[in-house]
Amino acid sequence: MGKRGTYLHKNFILRITREEWLRQVFTIKKYYPGVPRRWERGGLIFLARRSDRGDSFVGYGVVGRFIEKDDLKGVERQECERMRWRGVIIFDELYRFEPPLPLKETSIAGLKAKGKCLHGYPLTEEQAAEILEAASNLCSIIQV
């Protein structure tokens, strides 16, 4: 948090550890975060995953809305409670990078945060723009 309660970041990295969760995100356009962040409409969420070339961005989404766990119903709420997730991010737009974009080929290569420490990592507007530019130069960006 910045001065007087303002938030400085609305763009984040989420590192997905399981292949099934990655498929789920791209299928249902939802992600269930366990990290406490202020997920804002229009924010960019860069999805990262470990690959044979190291941690790589596999895509990104534009936040449509975030629904708190307490506002969910039935099975979805029960699953959030069981897994200690905070709610659900619903993406307005979702894009996949083919092939994945290795983090080491982006402007954030020098970050001290590595591996699981990337999960929930905040990005500035400039960093987000630089990642998108690197992706457009090195990958196909496919809307899901």
The total domain count for the chain is 1
Tell me whether residue 108 is in a domain.
Answer: yes
Tell me whether residue 105 is in a domain.
Answer: yes
* Mean per-residue pLDDT of the chain: 90
**What mean pLDDT is predicted for residues 97-103?**
95
CB atoms closer than 10 angstroms to residue 37: 19
Tell me whether residue 127 is in a domain.
Answer: yes
Residue 117: which CATH number? 3.10.590.10
Helices (H), the chain: 19-28, 74-83, 125-138
pLDDT of 28: 96
**What mean pLDDT is predicted for residues 10-32?**
94
Q: What are the CA-CA distances from residue 74 to residues 61, 70, 71, 118, 119 (Å)?
A: 26, 11, 10, 31, 27
Tell me whether residue 66 is in a domain.
Answer: yes
What range does the domain containing 42 cover? 7-143
Tell me whether residue 121 is in a domain.
Answer: yes
pLDDT of 2: 43
Q: In this predicted model, what pLDDT tens digit does every residue of 107-136 receive, in sequence order?
A: 888 877 666 778 999 999 999 999 999 999
pLDDT of 51: 85
Q: What are the CA-CA distances from residue 84 to residues 31, 54, 68, 124 (Å)?
A: 13, 28, 12, 27
Q: In this predicted model, what pLDDT tens digit does every residue of 38-72 receive, in sequence order?
A: 999 999 999 999 988 889 999 999 999 999 999 99
Residue 4, pLDDT above cutoff 80: no
pTM over 0.75: yes
Angle at 10 between CA 130 and CA 85, to 5 degrees: 120
pLDDT of 6: 46
pLDDT of 31: 96
Residue 143, pLDDT above cutoff 90: yes
Q: How confident is the model at residue 81 (pLDDT cuts 50, 70, 90)?
A: very high
Q: Tell which residue, 21, 5, 20, has the closest CA to residue 85.
A: 21
Tell me whether residue 120 is in a domain.
Answer: yes
Tell me whether residue 1 is in a domain.
Answer: no
Tell me whether residue 2 is in a domain.
Answer: no
